[in-house]
Structure 1
Amino acid sequence: MKKLFLIIGAPGSGKTTDAEIIAERNDEEIVHYSTGDLLRAEVASGSERGQLINSFISKGHIVPIEIAIETITSAIKEAPSDVILFDGYPRSFEQMNELDKFLANDSDIELVSVIEVVVSEDVARDRVIGRSRGADDKVEIFNNRMKVYTDPLLEIQNFYESKNLLKKIDGERSIEAIVDEMELYIESKI
């Protein structure tokens, strides 16, 4: 059975970096996927789906649920390891509900935990604007991405807390401290 850990956090929270380091340290047992990386890879492929995805990503909008769920579930099922760290999903109440429905009907995947990397909006903005990777790092786009993240956050937190699945980690410490805490927590659950 695949054991799934969802890692959520604001843009710039460090969730992708944290998950990458843990997966590298445990490359035999743990694989990491970033929703953003999977979607960007599809865009880079130049496929029709990639062009459709790009029309949303380039404006800082959420990719439609059907496309995202299809991308995520295929990655989980084809994962080379049984423990999967998946960051950047869910980003809306609807995405969370669709994923929950999918998992309820799939006995091969268990959602073990949702780990939230918590940072303030100021820290997130400084990190994102500071790394300047391209168009999505402009202040207006960042503000839109932050709103997209924070608007449904309370509902998502409440939903996973009610299932005793939410674990919050302080994302404003050193990368080493964050990764060590997250890794120990994941190991305690597998």
Structure 2
Amino acid sequence: MKQLFLIIGAPGSGKTTDAQEIQKRNPNSVVHYSTGDLLREEVASGSERGKLIGGIIAKGELVPLEIVVQTIIHALQNAPKDIVLIDGYPRSVEQMNALHEKLAEQDSVKLVKVIEVAVSEEVARDRVLGRARGADDNAEVFNNRMRVFLEPLEAIRAFYGKQNLHHTINGERTIEEIVTEMNDYITLQIKG
């Protein structure tokens, strides 16, 4: 059975970098997918769905639920390792519920924990606007992305908290400190 860890956090929280580092530390057992990367790969393919996704991402809005869930389920089913980290999901209550329903319909993937990399809005803003990698890294888009992240956050925390699946890690430390704590936590959960 594949063991799934969802890693959530504000834009600029470092969740993608953290997950990539954990995969590097555990190359034989861990695979990492960023929902953002999975969607960007679709955009880069030039497909009709990719063009649709590209337009939505450029505005800082959420990609339609059906497309995102299909992308994630496909990645999970084809994952080459038993421990799967997915960052950037869920970003809405609807996404959370849709994944929960899909996971309940099967027995090949188990959601082990939802790890939140917590940073203040100020730290997130400084990081995102400081890196300015592309057209989606400006103050207006950041503010929209932050609003989209914060609106459902309490409901997501409550849902996973009731199932004892939510865990928070302080994301305002060095990458080394964050990754070491997250890696140790994941290892502990798998060993049960």
TM range (shorter): over 0.9
CA deviation vs aligned residue, 1:136-170 (integer Å, no higher than 9, x gap): 11100000000000000000000000000001000
What is residue 169 of structure 2 aligned with on the other side?
169
Tell me if 1:31 matches 2:12. no
Alignment of 1:83-122 (within 5 A): 83-122=83-122
- Residues in 2 aligned to 1:186 and 1:177: alpha-carbon distance in whole angstroms: 14
What is residue 159 of structure 2 aligned with on the other side?
159
Q: CA deviation at 1:128?
A: 0.1
What is residue 56 of structure 1 aligned with on the other side?
56
What is residue 5 of structure 2 aligned with on the other side?
5
Q: How many residues align?
A: 190
TM-score by length of 1: 0.99
For 2:59, what is the secondary structure of its paired residue? coil
Tell me if 1:179 matches 2:179. yes
- Residues in 2 aligned to 1:85 and 1:126: alpha-carbon distance in whole angstroms: 26
- Residues in 2 aligned to 1:56 and 1:159: alpha-carbon distance in whole angstroms: 27
Amino acid in the other structure paired with 1:49: R
Q: CA deviation at 1:134?
A: 1.0
Q: CA deviation at 1:130?
A: 0.2
What is residue 150 of structure 1 aligned with on the other side?
150
- Residues in 2 aligned to 1:28 and 1:45: alpha-carbon distance in whole angstroms: 28
- Residues in 2 aligned to 1:48 and 1:28: alpha-carbon distance in whole angstroms: 35
Q: CA deviation at 1:123?
A: 0.1
Amino acid in the other structure paired with 1:167: H
For structure 2, list consecutive stretches of 5 or more residues without a partner in the other structure: none
- Residues in 1 aligned to 2:53 and 2:175: alpha-carbon distance in whole angstroms: 31
For 1:137, what is the secondary structure of its paired residue? coil
CA deviation vs aligned residue, 1:33-82 (integer Å, no higher than 9, x gap): 00000000100010111011112101000000000000000001101001
For 1:136, what is the secondary structure of its paired residue? coil
Identity of aligned residues (%): 62
Amino acid in the other structure paired with 2:82: D
Amino acid in the other structure paired with 2:80: P
- Residues in 2 aligned to 1:3 and 1:134: alpha-carbon distance in whole angstroms: 33
Tell me if 1:45 matches 2:64. no
- Residues in 2 aligned to 1:149 and 1:74: alpha-carbon distance in whole angstroms: 24
Amino acid in the other structure paired with 2:91: R
Moved over 3 A (4+): none
TM-score by length of 2: 0.98
Q: CA deviation at 1:106?
A: 1.1
Tell me if 1:131 matches 2:105. no
Q: CA RMSD in A?
A: 0.4
